[in-house]
Structure 1
Amino acid sequence: MMKSPYKNEQILGMEYYITDTPGTGGHLRETPEDFRVGELFRDVKLTGGPHLICELEKTNWELQRAVKEITKRLGISHKRIGWGGTKDKRAVTTQLISIYGIKAEDLEDFHLKDINLKPLGYANSQLSLGDLEGNNFDIWIRDCDGPDIAGNLESCVKTAQTGLPNYYGIQRFGVTRPVSHLVGIEMLKGNYKEAVFRYVGFPCDDEHEETKTARQAFEDNQDPKETLSLMPVYLRYERAMLHHLVEQPEDYKGALMVIPPKLLSMFVSAYQSYLFNRVLSKRIENSDNISEPETGDRLIFPDGKEDIVTEKNIRTAKVHMKRGRCSLSIYMPGSEDYEIIGEMDRYAKEIMEETGITKKGFSEVTELVGARFKGASRAISMRTEIDYKISENNINLKFTLPPGHYATTVCREIMKADPKNMI
């Protein structure tokens, strides 16, 4: 176990590495082609129907923006497109999408730089998150400068077979400006004005100077009209919120609601991710074996079933975990009642009290975001078999992860590099 020396990881709860070997160092994504992602889907039945299933390959495109451009070219609503999971922007990604109500021939004249759409057939239902089984990764880490690269890499690869910390990666919170969880905290507390100021204001060091100037002006003067004249045009959500405040002063709840509901819900999810990361770090701090069950721990199985470790079943739980049949999990509270059982539940309760979040906040935010946050469990470790090769001072990694797990979290454990080198 080693503590991360990087402040921008610590503030997001990513406080530890499970291995104590020096990192390989290096850089991720020197080009998008260095980071390739391909989806593993459950069987998609092409039995005919109104949904055209397509293979979407994109390079250096954020998914939501790609979908917006695709719908614009096709002249349809974005609601007619479904997918199994979002993907990294700075990467070459291959995934399936479904498009309702169009024919394969409608794509014959479709052209968009760095985007390819290949029709595969028709299905009766739209693709959704539950259809995704996992993702394959093919990643290059360039310019590694750590000591004994081969030896330290092999040590991390071996640990990955038993379990690496399943942290939510930095991109979950915002890469250059990790504030999503801070906006979520204010939304959950009903502080809509503060939520707007966290999103529109709150300048960060790695932003462009013109952006920092606009954000700082909003912090200092609280004048939406003045800030609007300074805010860069590409920050469309910030500008939309400012426009609303110019037209309806002090209506901060309304300003938030100009943002798409999916993005609003991501702010709330980001708080739960922050909570998860902090609880996981606390567990590692007190017991660096994240694959050894203790009485009161929660277990989660691949089919979603859950159980509690007791004095009576702890030996069976150890056998199941050793064989990869289940994992320890952290419960991220929401609007539903739950029983505080083990140490990790107590950690979560302490952090929620520290941040001033209650289950009532999760209930009330439902109206704003159009999504329910009942509470959810997530495995604290991820296992994977990593194939690798070393070419001079470059490393190639190939591995598979379940949905919602972060390849950058695997790379983080191996590299132990400044997160800015992993963007």
Structure 2
Amino acid sequence: MDYPVESPPFATPTLSGVGGSLKASLEDFRVDEVPAYSPSGTGTHLFVHFEKRDLDTKRAVEAIARGLECDPRSVGWAGLKDRRGITTQWASIEGGDPDKALELRLDGIRMLDAKLHEQKLRTGHLKGNRFQIRLRGVHGDADGAREILSALAETGCPNYFGPQRFGWNGNNLTRARRWIVDGGRAPRKRFEKKLLVSTFQAALFNEVTGRRLEDGLLAEAVAGDLMKKEDSGGLFIAEDLETEGPRVKAWEISPTGPMFGAKMRWPEAEAQIREARVLEGSGLERADLASFRKAGEGTRRALRFRPTDLEVAAEGENLLLAFTLRKGSYATVITREIMKSGESAA
């Protein structure tokens, strides 16, 4: 697997980046979770809305649970948020008291709201995330950033996994390959197995997506594509390209790519051939996917996404960006396109 999965091709290679630095301070990166629903006000699970600074989600929520004298194993969250930055999100804690939650004073955490709900908050139960990002010391201007964002909003941004998915210096990906491809010793802990499988899946997804982009097919229908309906999330096979092609351009549907696993639904025809070629290039065959079935069954993921509610403003030598992304998409993929720092866009 020689494909540059941590630095895949740009979607806007002909548009110059603005350079600059990202996350120079905590205040430069803010994420506000957009929830899928509001807590009902009754039930045994306490939904807490909180702001955290320079903390990862797991540590923050467990600290809140301990402050409420509740079992940290009972917690739930819709998604993990970046440690480096200021983020707001919801979490659930079984048995917590709303009044006590609002009185908590914890390092790096500010409680915003607390209400009861009938069920635990599950992974994926969010609409998306709103990002406010400051790029410091840019050499480009706001118009250049707007042009890149507009291009991504029109045809779509590759739904790559960001480099944080692969660990420091790609260490998690190296470990995943050693186990899954080379037949090395499997991790003992279930969490670590799932982490390494998801890392390996992400790498192959990035390769499939990057190769589609290089061939000019990111926003095009390919025979046999497993399409995702943008409104409902339903999947179907693309059989009539004359019909499905315009629907892709109109953002009614988008092609999906593989998160390889034994239970993943495969596309057909040309789309299946393209994905199988990437899997074989990694050193695995389709039958090998069963070897890590318990750690990653596999699924489909849209090949593209588009940022919405775009805002760009100049602030001296800095740029302020704001945009909303659907759940599961990485803001660092957007900032990479805008900055193009230290990478060739050709």
Is TM more than 0.5 here? Answer: yes
Query: 350-359 vs 133-142, which deviates more?
Result: 350-359
Which runs of 5 or more residues in structure 2 are unaligned?
Answer: none
**Per-residue deviation, residues 202-231 of structure 1 (Å, max 9, x unmatched):** xxxxxxxxxxxxxxxxxxxxxxxxxxxxxx
Hey, what does 1:412 align to over in structure 2? 336
- C-alpha distance 400-305 of structure 1, shift in aligned 2 (>3 A): same
Query: In the alignment, is residue 316 of structure 1 matched against residue 243 of structure 2?
Result: yes
Query: In the alignment, is residue 16 of structure 1 matched against residue 9 of structure 2?
Result: yes
**Per-residue deviation, residues 315-363 of structure 1 (Å, max 9, x unmatched):** 3212322322111211333113755524443233223223223444443
- C-alpha distance 326-349 of structure 1, shift in aligned 2 (>3 A): same
- C-alpha distance 277-342 of structure 1, shift in aligned 2 (>3 A): farther
Deviation at 1:131, TM superposition (A): 1.6
Q: Give the alignment's Cα RMSD to 1 decimal.
A: 2.4
- The partner residue of 1:182 within 158, 174, 188 is 174
**Per-residue deviation, residues 265-320 of structure 1 (Å, max 9, x unmatched):** 12101111100111111112222x5212233333111322112222xx22321232
Query: In the alignment, is residue 118 of structure 1 matched against residue 112 of structure 2?
Result: yes
Task: Tell me the amino acid that sits aligned with residue 177 of structure 2.
Answer: I
Which residues of 2 match residues 34-53 of structure 1 at below 5 A?
Answer: 34-53=28-47
Which runs of 5 or more residues in structure 1 are unaligned?
Answer: 1-8, 194-252
Hey, what does 1:153 align to over in structure 2? 145
Q: Return the structure number with greater strand share.
A: 2
Aligned length: 338
- C-alpha distance 38-321 of structure 1, shift in aligned 2 (>3 A): same
Distance 1:140 1:155 in 2: 17
Distance 1:109 1:263 in 2: 35
Hey, what does 2:220 align to over in structure 1? 292
- The partner residue of 1:169 within 154, 162, 165 is 162
- The partner residue of 2:20 within 26, 38, 58 is 26
Deviation at 1:142, TM superposition (A): 0.9
Distance 1:118 1:152 in 2: 37
Distance 1:154 1:365 in 2: 43
Query: In the alignment, is residue 378 of structure 1 matched against residue 306 of structure 2?
Result: no
Query: In the alignment, is residue 78 of structure 1 matched against residue 79 of structure 2?
Result: no
Contact 1:13 1:278 in 2 (8 A): no
Distance 2:252 2:131 in 1: 23
What SS is found at the alignment partner of 1:30?
Answer: coil
Contact 2:70 2:95 in 1 (8 A): no
Contact 2:222 2:270 in 1 (8 A): no
Q: Normalized against structure 1, the TM-score is what?
A: 0.74
Contact 1:300 1:327 in 2 (8 A): yes
Q: Normalized against structure 2, the TM-score is what?
A: 0.89
Query: In the alignment, is residue 387 of structure 1 matched against residue 311 of structure 2?
Result: yes
Hey, what does 2:207 align to over in structure 1? 278
Deviation at 1:374, TM superposition (A): 3.0
Deviation at 1:180, TM superposition (A): 1.9
Highest CA radius of gyration, 1 or 2? 1
Deviation at 1:57, TM superposition (A): 0.7
Deviation at 1:112, TM superposition (A): 1.8
Distance 1:397 1:342 in 2: 41
Deviation at 1:408, TM superposition (A): 0.7
Query: 278-287 vs 316-325, which deviates more?
Result: 316-325
Deviation at 1:109, TM superposition (A): 5.5
Task: Tell me the amino acid that sits aligned with residue 297 of structure 1.
Answer: D
Q: Return the structure number with greater helix share.
A: 1
